[in-house]
């Protein structure tokens, strides 16, 4: 029986495994190969790794983890988690086998659900983004488009307006109302009349087709995407959830179910208004969750 099984090998899971390994806690890290930033070419706003490819970041982390005898990594997904803190947890793997642990760290992250716009998914993480902190600076002085409803577009305009050049807001699904159009135009942006029909890559930029209108921009920021739990484990385990759709955790990543911790984009404290998604924050959450696991194990051993 492992001291801990960490499910998910993005920044949160990798950091949790590192912290547990450094404290000589037997740890199994399970990597399904699915990552929220799997299509992203470069990470940004990550100190010492600004501009690093996510795949390179993960490969470096795994190389470093290999030097810790107490950390084992398997490239396989998980189907189910069962058990209790007192009796231990059983994790059923995708191949039907199972492994046991005293504690579980969920780090499976979230998935982005994009609006059904032809061509958008192919551009996601390349010329289409949702995070100004991650990708705004790379569009400094350039023309961009924001796709989505007026209230969410307004928030992005506030963040990107001082960075980028011209901004055009295109509705998704249905046109903006007259009041919404006037509100957006008062912010100094152009507003497309028709909802977006399609986006396509053109050289280093993006062509947007919306009714009779076409626009060529350097990049697209999507204000109409939503996120969901990538894995079903929160529901399986009956974990307490927040209105944001994230798992509720305490300051050390502990969920409402004893012995189950969570770290990364899939969870946050109730004191926060919603997901604070970034590589740095996910890594920090992974470390805190690992510390919480170590505290719990120590308490059970004495």
295 confidence band (pLDDT: 50, 70, 90): very high
CA 184/CA 164 separation, integer angstroms: 16
pLDDT in tens, 12-62: 999 999 999 999 999 999 999 999 989 999 999 999 999 999 999 999 999
**pLDDT tens for residues 156-178?**
999 999 999 999 999 999 999 99
Q: Which letter does DSSP use for residue 177 in this model?
A: P
CATH superfamily of 115-222: FAD/NAD(P)-binding domain (3.50.50.60)
Task: Please tell me whether residue 189 adopts helix, strand or coil conformation.
Answer: coil
Task: Supply the DSSP symbol for 39.
Answer: T
- If 0-12 CB within 10 Å is exposed, 13-18 middle and 19+ buried, where does residue 243 land? exposed
Instruction: Give the separation between CA 24 and CA 7, rounded to whole angstroms.
Output: 18
Domain 115-222 in the same topology as domain 2-112+226-301? yes
Instruction: With beta carbons less than 8 A apart as the criterion, state whether 108 and 231 touch.
Output: yes
pLDDT at 276: 84
Helix-then-strand count for the chain, H and E = 8, 19
Q: Which of 264, 257, 266, 255 is nearest to 287 (CA)?
A: 264
Which CATH class, in words, describes the domain spanning 2-112+226-301?
A: alpha beta
User: Among residues 109, 146, 118, 122, which one has the least CA distance to residue 34?
Assistant: 109
Can you tell me the mean pLDDT for 109-130?
95
In this prediction, residues 210-237 reach a mean pLDDT of: 95
pTM given for the model: 0.95
Residue 277 has pLDDT above 90, yes or no: no
Confidence of residue 186 (pLDDT cuts 50, 70, 90): very high
Task: Tell me the domain boundaries of the chain.
Answer: 2-112+226-301, 115-222
Q: How confident is the model at residue 104 (pLDDT cuts 50, 70, 90)?
A: very high
Q: What pLDDT is recorded for position 282? A: 97
Grade residue 132 by pLDDT with cuts at 50, 70 and 90: very high
150-161: pLDDT as tens digits: 999 999 999 999
């Amino acid at each position: 029986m492992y001291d801990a099984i960490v499910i998910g090998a993005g920044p949160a899971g990798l950091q949790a495994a590192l912290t547990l390994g450094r404290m000589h806690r037997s740890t199994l890290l399970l990597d399904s190969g699915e990552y929220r930033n799997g299509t992203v070419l470069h990470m940004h706003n990550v100190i010492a790794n600004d501009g690093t490819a996510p795949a390179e970041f993960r490969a470096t982390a795994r190389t470093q983890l290999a030097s810790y005898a107490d950390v084992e990594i398997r490239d396989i997904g998980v189907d189910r988690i069962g058990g209790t803190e007192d009796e231990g947890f059983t994790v059923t793997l995708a191949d039907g086998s199972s492994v046991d642990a005293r504690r579980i760290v969920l780090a499976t992250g979230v998935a982005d659900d994009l609006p059904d716009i032809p061509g958008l998914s192919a551009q996601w993480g390349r010329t289409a983004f949702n995070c100004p902190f991650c990708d705004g600076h790379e569009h400094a002085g350039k023309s961009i488009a924001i796709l989505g409803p007026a209230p969410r577009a307004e928030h992005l305009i506030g963040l990107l307006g001082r960075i980028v050049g011209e901004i055009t807001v295109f509705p998704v699904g249905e046109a903006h109302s007259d009041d919404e159009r006037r509100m957006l135009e008062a912010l100094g942006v152009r507003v497309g009349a028709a909802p977006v029909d399609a986006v396509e890559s053109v050289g280093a930029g993006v062509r947007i087709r919306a009714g009779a209108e076409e626009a060529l921009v350097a990049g697209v920021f999507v204000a109409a995407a939503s996120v969901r739990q990538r894995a079903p484990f929160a529901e399986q385990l009956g974990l307490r959830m927040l209105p944001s759709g994230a798992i509720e955790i305490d300051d050390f990543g502990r969920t409402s179910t004893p012995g189950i911790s969570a770290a990364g984009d899939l969870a946050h404290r109730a004191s926060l208004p919603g997901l604070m998604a970034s590589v740095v924050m996910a890594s920090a959450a992974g470390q805190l969750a690992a510390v919480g696991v170590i505290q719990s194990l120590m308490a059970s051993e004495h």
